[in-house]
Amino acid sequence: MHDDRTLTEGRLARVLDQRLRPAVHARSLPLEVSAHHIYGEPVPVSDGIAGPYQPINTGAPWGPAWSTTWFRIRGTVPVDWAGERVEAVLDLGFGTTQPGFSAEGLVYRADGTPVKALNPRNSWLLIAEQAKGGEDFEFHTEAAANPLIFDFDAAGDPFIPTRAGDVASWLRADGPAGPAGEPLYRLTRMDLAVFDKTVWELVQDLDVLSGLMHQLPEDSTRRSQIRTTVSRALDAIDLQDIGGTAGRARALLAPALTAPAHAGAHQISAVGHAHIDTAWLWPVRETVRKAARTVSNVTALMDDHPDFRFVMSQAQQLAWLKEQRPEVYDRVLEKVATGQFLPTGSLWVEPDTNLSGGESLVRQFVHGKRFYLEEFGIETRDMWLPDTFGYNAALPQLMKLAGIDWFLTQKISWNTTNAFPHHTFWWEGIDGSRVFSHFPPVDSYNGDLSGADIAHTERNFRDKGAANRSLVPFGYGDGGGGPTREMLARADRLADLEGSAKVELEGPTEFFTKAQREYPDAPVWVGELYLELHRGTLTSQLATKQGNRRCEHLLREAELWSATATVRTGEPYPYAALDRIWKTVLLHQFHDILPGSSIAWVHQETQQAHQDAARELNALIDAAQRTLAGPSGPDGGEIVFNAAPHNRDGVPALGAVPRGTAPRPVPVRAGDDSSLVLDNGLVRITVDVRGLITSAYDLTARREALAPGTVGNLLQLHQDFPNQWDAWDLDAFYRNTVQDLTRADEVTNDGDAIEVVRSVNASRIRQRLSLPEGARRLDIDTTVEWREREKILKAAFPFDLRAGHSTSEIPFGHVQRPTHSNTTWDAARFEMCAHRFLHLTEPDWGTALVNDSTYGHDVTRDVRPDGGTTTTARLSLLRAPLFPDPEADQGEHRFRYGLVLGADIGDAVREGYGFNLAERTVTGTSAVDPLVEADHGGAVIEAVKLADDGSGAVIVRLYESLGSRAGTTLRTGFPLATATMTDLLERPLTDDPALTTTTDGVTIALRPFQIMTLRLLPRG
């Protein structure tokens, strides 16, 4: 037989795309269309539907960037279409084939009832299942003219800098008075059409067989059989009478579609999904509309497909629908009740888990799970987090404490160096907690159930033999959209098809239950899940990161002092305000906001939200502290409050005392060779005429911290132009070139600080170096007027240490990472996350770097000619990417970091907290005993608050911070009635061990890195 493979497959592609797909709506006529333009912010649905409307023709331009146009479509079904399925085909002139990245629309009936969304892959609207001839109809479409910031269809580089993401560039101050910029879109097709179901089904048949055929080996029997069958079906189609011959072609294809799969075929659980970024290339307000569009789509599909299951994984988005689009939320409630719409994920938003603090992650679970419980009566059991940029090693314990059994993500498949070795496994955290986990081998959270998706899933699955089941999340995402009827048609045909894996529509619970039963002894992965990509997100958009860090600590203070004031004085506890502010902070921890990878509009709003939250939190703190401090005495008086979990300067942890003698910065003195010296009897810092630290000497240990011939606090500037994903990525080759900033404009003695001023290009850097009395920490207060482009600024400290590993703070503990690059896994971890401290040590002496807003760090080491080892730690201070925000990080920034000499891990923990939680001074005379205090240095109290149920119980969350066991007595500053160990939602644990409780405390034992939540009920 002659080989006609190429000829037949080419014929199929052309006939399918150029003849059959258009024939689905072959009989059509134009609709009557009118438009109503909104040039400012979106208006309520009722206002949009009300008009005023003006006629508009197909081909007409519409939509300046970020504006909204309401289209009214009217028509009458022709009499000779009676009994047919009639649809409207509404092509708004979408700027890309990818849903969610350009123009989108949501169709409403005239009474305001939502129907479904419109996007490039879903542009049809049902008018009547069985039309009545002569019937009139009217619909309204809210069309968003979102600019195409990231063009998936463009050839070449899609990461082109654009100012389209800065709202100030597009919306005029006078808003609705008129458009800013030219229209972006043109109406392409607004037609009424007959839907030819037989042709549509033929298209789906050929689509599935084509997809399967192209994935099978070229020499396989099944591929040849499919090709022969397809060729015969194509012969049966009269291209001038497709509707009349489609049935005959389908009959010829039927045997190929009914041949069953092999008994041992891979099992795929297909879960409907639409990843909707809570903000990214669009502002938060647009995400509300994206959620409404997607939910309208999937609930409409559920009406026609009872077996279809869809998951939605961010409680915040459902809360928005409840508040702002109740007509859409009603459909959610309806489909949750039928078991088709599945709230999942257990989180308020899908956060960044590298940068979010520990208590923030607790509240992500608390607010997410509580919303699902209160709204739907559903206890979610999974953490669904497909698209964030790495996963900290405390998460397994947090999941277990939140009642979560299963974890799903996909993002680690983006690793650029090492392929993760498992798809189904147990993930073990720093405390030993394990969670059953799955990485979908489809390598996408936006699957479409194509032949390529299904075949890749089976080929790629790394646990073959031991397991035979995987999950595919299908549906258009990032910008929303969700599954389509075409995807469901594929699922139906792939349920049991020879040559393919078996596909079953179901939810995550069904998948995980089956997968865990099948593979209970899955392999174990211990420690963090480090993403070998997007390392620049640890540094981009510093102001966003600073605002989050500051709000996290302010929330700690506000809860602590408000709870103390309530217990001590009866002052009302600000439940509602704290709940609202927490949700604001959690929202802005979304994995494209906090990492700094969104458009300018998003970061401008985030910074304002953080400022507003900080202002309100400071007011709550001040009010509580003034209540606690009492009135001023006749001679005045001040009370010093310490919110840190460690005693300092005579002030107890979580308490307050009258002002004593506060440590002051030591005076600067002149040294040899025009150097300047800071010396407090514990450490001595020497700074040369270039403003560089030439010596950091521990006077107690008689040890120099810096390697011979090196300088500390060396600012270094690198070119930072990654191959792609500008705001996200930091590619290893950035290290190949470096500019050491060794020239100083000024180095001056400012009395109690050394001030250094440097200029580089158009940027100006001012640093103040000071050393407090009695401290081992050098403080470096930095102000930068940053005007660099595509650069990264680092601060280097080359230590005379042979450190085998670095220790970085993560939520509720720390992780150790090798300082060498023996393996590709070690080498790929060239930029890493640390929260408040990074620690380096030899067995008997160490040093730490602490910070108030820096997350990106790198550590390298080298052996010197003298045989000693230099271990260099660097902080990543600022970046300047151009996409998606060309003005990212431009302007003035102030941040602080510190060098701690002679530090063990406990010192690093203590200094990290103290550096971020400054003492506060309030006029008054009353000391404040702590509500709770731990008598073991390794037991850190992370949160003190009142119980969410309003009972007056005090909730204390603490953890073991050193990686060792800690037996401690938690003393209470109030008579204690009962103490109960709870989960994160403040519910008693079923395996709650017996606690030894007295009237003034409770004795507990903590495992290494164990997190414990206690509910302490005061007496009477």
Condensed to tens digits (0 to 9), the pLDDT of residues 970-995 reads 999 999 999 999 999 999 998 767 78
Q: Which of 170-174, 537-541, 660-664, 779-783 has the lowest mean pLDDT?
A: 170-174
Q: Which of 141-155, 171-185, 523-537, 632-646 has the highest mean pLDDT?
A: 523-537
538: DSSP letter: G
Neighbouring CB atoms inside 10 A of 774's CB total: 13
Indicate if 207 belongs to the active site: no
Mean of the pLDDT values across residues 652-659? 96
pLDDT tops 50 at residue 176? no
Position of tokens 């070139």? 737
pLDDT for res 530: 98
Give me 328's structure tokens.
Answer: 């859409």
How many residues does this entry show for the chain? 1020
φ/ψ region of 563 (left if φ > 0, alpha if ψ in -120 to 50, else beta) reads alpha
Select from 263, 591, 586, 597 the least CA-distant residue to 411. Answer: 591
876: DSSP letter: E
Kindly indicate the confidence band of residue 151, based on its pLDDT and cuts at 50, 70 and 90. confident
Task: Give CA separation, 512 vs 469, 516, 519, 650, 726, in Å.
Answer: 9, 6, 10, 53, 36
Kindly indicate the confidence band of residue 779, based on its pLDDT and cuts at 50, 70 and 90. very high
Neighbouring CB atoms inside 10 A of 34's CB total: 16
pLDDT for res 171: 56
Regarding predicted confidence, which is higher, 157 or 828?
828
Q: Is the dihedral of CA 215, 216, 218, 224 positive or negative?
A: negative
Kindly indicate the confidence band of residue 1020, based on its pLDDT and cuts at 50, 70 and 90. confident
Kindly indicate the confidence band of residue 170, based on its pLDDT and cuts at 50, 70 and 90. low
What Rg do the C-alpha atoms of the chain give, in angstroms?
31
The per-residue pLDDT for range 58-117, each reduced to its tens digit, is 999 999 999 999 999 999 999 999 999 999 999 999 988 899 999 999 999 999 999 999
pLDDT tops 60 at residue 2? no
Strands 267-273 and 502-505: parallel
Contact 851, 875 (CB under 8 A): yes
CA–CA dist 642, 914 (Å, integer) = 9
CA–CA dist 351, 385 (Å, integer) = 8
pLDDT tops 60 at residue 596? yes
Give me 93's structure tokens.
Answer: 């002139």
Return the half-sphere exposure (C-beta side, CA atoms, 13 A cut-off) of residue 98.
17
The per-residue pLDDT for range 674-684, each reduced to its tens digit, is 999 999 999 99
Q: Give the active site residue among 330, 387, 496, 679.
A: 387
Select from 413, 417, 358 the least CA-distant residue to 389. Answer: 413
Mean of the pLDDT values across residues 505-529? 98
Mean of the pLDDT values across residues 820-829? 98
pLDDT tops 50 at residue 174? no
Mean of the pLDDT values across residues 301-323? 97
pLDDT tops 90 at residue 407? yes
The per-residue pLDDT for range 546-574, each reduced to its tens digit, is 999 999 999 999 999 999 999 999 999 99
Position of tokens 């990214």? 280
Neighbouring CB atoms inside 10 A of 892's CB total: 10
Phi, psi of 129 (to 5 degrees): -70, -40
Task: Give CA separation, 210 vs 122, 207, 219, 245, in Å.
Answer: 21, 5, 16, 20
Beta bridge partners of 391: 529
Neighbouring CB atoms inside 10 A of 199's CB total: 26
Give me 135's structure tokens.
Answer: 């019937």
Mean of the pLDDT values across residues 449-455? 95
Contact 614, 556 (CB under 8 A): no
3 state SS of 427 = strand
Contact 989, 981 (CB under 8 A): yes
Regarding predicted confidence, which is higher, 168 or 417?
417
pLDDT tops 70 at residue 179? no
Contact 356, 365 (CB under 8 A): no
CA–CA dist 496, 260 (Å, integer) = 5
3 state SS of 179 = coil
CA–CA dist 546, 552 (Å, integer) = 10
Percent pLDDT > 90 in the chain is: 93
Give me 955's structure tokens.
Answer: 């909730």
pLDDT tops 60 at residue 149? yes
Position of tokens 């002052």? 571
Kindly indicate the confidence band of residue 155, based on its pLDDT and cuts at 50, 70 and 90. confident
Return the half-sphere exposure (C-beta side, CA atoms, 13 A cut-off) of residue 836.
24
**End-to-end alpha-carbon separation of the chain, Å?**
93
When the pLDDT of each residue in the chain is averaged and rounded to a whole number, the result is 96
pLDDT tops 70 at residue 730? yes
CA–CA dist 163, 151 (Å, integer) = 14
Give, for 856, the enclosing helix (H) or strand (E). strand 856-863
Kindly indicate the confidence band of residue 173, based on its pLDDT and cuts at 50, 70 and 90. very low
